[in-house]
Amino acid sequence: MNRVCITGGAGFIGSHLCQRFLDEGHELLVFDNFVTGRQENISRFRSHDRFSFHKEDITESITVAGDLDWVIHLASLASPAFYQENPIETLQVGAIGTQKTLELALEKDATYLFASTSEVYGDPDVNPQPEDYRGRVDPFGPRACYDESKRYGESLVWSFKEQYGLDVRIARIFNTYGPRMRIDDGRVLPTFVRQALTGEDLTVYGDGKQTRSFCFISDLVEGLRRLLASDLQTPVNVGNPDERTILELAEMLLEMTDSESSLVYEPLPPHDPRKRCPDISKVRSELNWEPTVELEDGLERMIDHFKSVINSPVSDPPT
Ligand code: NAD
Ligand code: UDP
């Protein structure tokens, strides 16, 4: 059994990782301030004797009594809709939050996993993106607070490895989807699924020809778990290379939900990456991992989950 600290554990990816670690028999200490996470995501674990929850803003403090084996740093604003409304908070959690969690890992001699992102590649002129592609990021644009916070975060993680010998892992996570995303998350799949199920028009930004590649949550969790178990210290892409246009997704969802919604075209947000697709050669060869869930199957599961949320909405109890 390992003792694991997870920041951002009440969020989408965090709650699925919690489930995996509890199933494996580990003890979890979860830190979250609920800025985007929800009680509902962790209420199922709360009575578990190997689970403890700490409502903290990790840019202010994160202290743990006793030993730790792993520190998993997921806390961040993650949806463009949320991080663009809170750019300073986003930069702070990537900079100060990452520093504080690295110091915690160092103090406890724990292995540290950083949730980085495909956004470190920005609006890429190489497709698919391998790990040695340096990216095309504007430090001044509307996405800069997120992209630069993660680029700085990676750099800080690597510096703790170089200067103090900390055992680190850096996952460059590509677009991931599945149950427990917020219905008001703002990212494209929860938005389109909600719109299709409630009869609202699907809001396609630009001409919809920009691409993304979507990984189902169970595949991502398996990839992160293998990374943690490995000794791979350099950044690695974790994502599904099944690249689709946004228009294709919208049409697919209309058909899958038998929706009578239409498509409405809205302006493309500035600096929106035109293409995104992971080169997964490294994760395949180093971790023997590749995604297994087809997009259509993952979307079916997400649609079922969103139907149940829409039919019986649960409001979070006060924290
Ligand atoms: P999410 O918003 O569901 O979860 C993030 C969690 O972090 C939330 O529970 C939020 O309340 C918490 N948090 C934010 N700031 C905090 C702070 N200062 N103190 C304590 N808790 C704080 O997002 P997610 O999709 O689960 O993303 C998890 C991580 O994975 C993030 O670091 C994100 O950047 C990264 N990532 C996600 C994706 C994706 O497609 N889901 C892609 C690339 C990278
Ligand atoms: N998008 C869209 N309609 C929406 C939300 C997003 O067309 O209602 C597009 C967005 O412009 C981008 C893609 O879908 O090209 C993915 O956006 P998302 O916010 O999910 O995340 P990103 O990959 O851009 O960080």
Predicted confidence (pLDDT) per residue in 143-168, tens digit: 999 999 999 999 999 999 999 999 99
Topology at the third CATH level for domain 3-177+215-240+277-292: Rossmann fold (3.40.50)
Q: Which residue has the tokens 């000794």?
A: 231
d(CA 176, ligand 2 centre) in Å = 12
Secondary structure letter of residue 97 according to DSSP:
I
Ligand closest to CA 120: 1
Which residue is closest in CA terms to ligand 1's atom 15?
A: 76
Distance from Cα 93 to the centre of ligand 2, integer Å: 22
Q: 105 near 68, Cβ under 8 Å?
A: yes
Give me the catalytic one of 121, 146, 177, 205.
146
**Could you tell me the pTM of the whole model?**
0.98
| Residue ranges of domains in the chain | 3-177+215-240+277-292
Q: Which two tokens stand for residue 1?
A: 């059994």
Q: What is the pLDDT of residue 317?
A: 56
H/E segment holding residue 90? helix 87-92
Q: Which residue has the tokens 């190489």?
A: 126
pLDDT exceeding 90 applies to what percent of the chain? 97
Confidence of residue 318 (pLDDT cuts 50, 70, 90): low
What ipTM was reported for this prediction?
A: 0.99
Give the mean pLDDT of the chain: 96
Q: What are phi and psi of 90, to 5 degrees?
A: -65, -45
Average pLDDT value for residue range 229-256: 98
Q: State in Å: Cα 88 to ligand 2 middle.
A: 21
Task: Please write the tens of the pLDDT for every residue from 166-203.
Answer: 999 999 999 999 999 999 999 999 999 999 999 999 99
